Structure 1
Amino acid sequence: MRIDAHHHLWDLSAVRYPWLMAKGARRFFGDPAPIQRDYLIDEFRRDARGFGASVHIQVGAEHGWAEATWVQAVAEANPDWPLAQVVFCDLTAPDLSRQLDRYQTLPSVRGVRQIVGRAPGEDARTGTNALLDDPRFAAGLRAVGERGLSFDLQLIPELYERMARVLDAAPGTAIALCHAGSPHDRSPAGLRDWASRLRLLSDRPQITCKLSGLGMFDHEWTSESVRPIVETCLEQFGPDRCMFGSNFPVDSLYSDYAHVVAAYESLVPEAATFSVFHDTAARFYALP
C-alpha cells in the first residue's frame, strides 16, 4: 500500500478558503481558476489509484478548526482509507496550549503547519518570514514536539539558515520539509545554490523531506527537469527520510496524478521505492 504524504481536500460549502475563491487572483503557483471547485475524497481516491492512505495538509482555511473538524469527519466516513491530517495553528498565539489541546481531541491529527515562506514575491507582501525572528515561534515549535506532534515546514532556500538557528531551540520536534524546500530558481546555478543551502537542513536528523509540489515553480516540468531535485534529496536525506506527496489538487494544474507518480517512480531507485512511497510516511505520520 502506498501513502500520499501531502495532499489537500476542500468542500467549498463546508469550509471557507479566502485565497482559493479570490476571483482573478494569480498566485506564485499559477492561476487557481481550474481548482476553484470542490475536491473531495472520492475524486482524490480515483486520482490516487494504487495508493491506500494519505495525509491531508491544511490549506489556508479561514478557520483552522473548521477545516480540521471537517477533515476528521471525512476520515470517520472513510474507515477503509487511513487519513491523517496536519492542521493550522499559529505558534505565536497566546492561547497556543488551548488550541493544541483542542486539536489533539481529533484522532486524525498528527501535526501542525504554519507556512514560513511560499515564494519571494508573496513573502514580501505577507510578511510570514518574520516568524523566524519571533521567539514565540521557536517556543511554539518546541511545545509542538513536546506533545508528540510534528511540524510541516514550508519555506524557500533563502530562509534555510535562519530556520536552522530557530530549530536549535526545538531539536526534539520532528519536521517534515514540504516540497523539497521549494527550490524556486530552477537554473543550474539556482539548483546548485539550493543544494548547498539544503545541507543546513538535511544535516539535522529531525528533518524528513517531502518529494512534492515540484510543479509549482516549473509548470512545464518533466521527469528530467526535476531529476536534480529528487536525486539531491535522496542523496542528502537518504530514502528513509524522503516521502512522496502529490500536492493535489494544486499540482493538477500542471499534470495528472498518474503522470506525477510515474515521474517519481522513474527517478527513485527501485531499492528506495518502498521507503519513499510508504515506509517513511507511515513512520512519520503513524499510518499503517
Structure 2
Amino acid sequence: MKIIDAHHHTWDLSVFPYSWMNNPHPTGDISHLKNNYLIDDLLEDAKNLELIKSVHIQCQGGINSPVEETEWLQSLSDKQGFPHALVVYSDFLREGIEKEIEEHCQFKNTRGMRYLLNYINNDPINCFAPKEALLDTTFKKNYSLLEKYNLSFDMHLWWTQYSYAFDLIKSHPNILNIINHAGTPRKRDEEYLSNWRNGLKTLAQAPNTVIKISGLGMFDQQWTTDSIKPLVLDCIEIFGINRCFFSTNFPVDKKYSSYEKVWNSYFDITKDFSIDEKEKLFFKNAEKYYRI
C-alpha cells in the first residue's frame, strides 16, 4: 500500500537552535529529540514501506526569521525530493506578519501554516501558546490572511478549545483547517474521551475541517494497536473516510515505537476496509488536502 506521511518533522541542530526542546513538555521528557532527524533518517525508517510523499510540519527553526526554516526545507526537497509540502510557522500573535507570510510563499512547497494553540489557564505545562489565541484579535486577523494566500491551517489544540476553534472556522469557510494528531487527546479515561468525541463532532460540522490521525503515542506511551484502535475508528466515524488521513509525528513518536509499527497498526485497524477507503486514508486524502 502506498503511504504519505502527512505529519513529520526534520531538524538539524547544527543549522538551527530549536530552543523549544529545552522547555517543559506535556508529554514528559523530550531529551530524545535533541538528535538530528534528517530526510535520510525518515527514508531509513520507512525503508520497508512504500512511502511516496511526505508533509513537513514546522519546528520553529530559523534564527532571525522563521522563513529561514522554510528556505532550508525547500533546499532539502530540491535535493532529495522530500518533503513534498511544507506547513510553516509565523507568530500569529504578532502584528504585521503578512510580509513574512508572503516570504514563506516564495517557496514552492509551502502549503499551509501552523501556530500551536494548546492553552489551559493556570496549567503552564499544557500550554504551547501564551494565551487563548483563538479569542485574540491579532491571531484572528492573521488567520484571516490564509485565504488570500491559499494556505491551510494546521490546528493543534486541546478538546477544551474546540468550541472556540469551531466559531473561528465557521467565520472563514474558505480556509481549510487540518486538525492535528486526532485532536490531541491527552488522557484516556472515559470522561475525557467522551468530551473529546463530542468536541470532534462539533468540529466535524464545519465542512472545511479535516483530521490527521497521528501522534497517538504521545499520551499513550506504551500503546498497542488495540489501545489506539478505538480512537482511530472514532475519528473515521465522526469525520468520514473522505476527511481523515494517517501520519506518524516522527521523530517525536519515535520514542514510543518504530515507524513500521505505526503504519502496521493503521494497516491492521483498517484491514476490513475497501481498497478505495484505504487508499484515501493512506495517501489520496493527504494528496488532496495538501495539494501534492
Q: TM-score, normalised by structure 2?
A: 0.91
Instruction: State the superposition RMSD in angstroms.
Output: 1.8
- Residue type at the aligned position of 1:273: K
Alignment of structure 1 residues 107-122 onto 2, 5 Å: 107-117=108-118, 121-122=123-124
Q: Which residue of 2 aligns with 1:273?
A: 278
- Residue type at the aligned position of 2:201: R
- Residue type at the aligned position of 2:273: E
Unaligned runs of 5+ in 1: none
Q: Which residue of 1 aligns with 2:77?
A: 75
Alignment of structure 1 residues 1-288 onto 2, 5 Å: 1-20=2-21, 22=22, 26-49=24-47, 50-61=50-61, 63-79=65-81, 81=82, 83-117=84-118, 121-122=123-124, 127-268=129-270, 269-271=272-274, 272-287=277-292
| Larger mean Cα displacement after TM superposition, 267-276 or 244-253 | 267-276
- Per the alignment, do residues 236 and 123 of structure 1 end up closer, same or farther by CA in structure 2, a change over 3 Å counting? same
- CA shift at 1:280, angstroms? 0.6
Unaligned runs of 5+ in 2: none
| Larger mean Cα displacement after TM superposition, 29-38 or 192-201 | 29-38
| Larger mean Cα displacement after TM superposition, 145-154 or 123-132 | 123-132
- Residue type at the aligned position of 2:90: C
- CA shift at 1:7, angstroms? 0.3
Structure 1 runs, 4 residues or longer, greater than 3 Å off: 118-129
Deviations 1:152-204 (A, max 9, x none): 00000011011111223322100110001111121122212211111111111
- Residue type at the aligned position of 2:15: A
- Residue type at the aligned position of 2:288: R
Q: Distance in 1 between matches of 2:119 and 2:182?
A: 12
Deviations 1:65-97 (A, max 9, x none): 121111111001113x45211000123432222
- Per the alignment, do residues 112 and 257 of structure 1 end up closer, same or farther by CA in structure 2, a change over 3 Å counting? same
- CA shift at 1:60, angstroms? 2.8
- CA shift at 1:133, angstroms? 1.5
Conserved 8 A contact 1:138-1:167: no
- CA shift at 1:129, angstroms? 4.2
Conserved 8 A contact 2:215-2:253: yes
- CA shift at 1:119, angstroms? 7.3
- Residue type at the aligned position of 2:117: V
- Residue type at the aligned position of 1:94: E
Q: Distance in 1 between matches of 2:194 and 2:96?
A: 41
Q: Distance in 2 between matches of 1:221 and 1:51?
A: 23
Q: What's the secondary structure of 1:210's corresponding residue?
A: strand
- Per the alignment, do residues 122 and 261 of structure 1 end up closer, same or farther by CA in structure 2, a change over 3 Å counting? farther
Conserved 8 A contact 1:9-1:39: yes
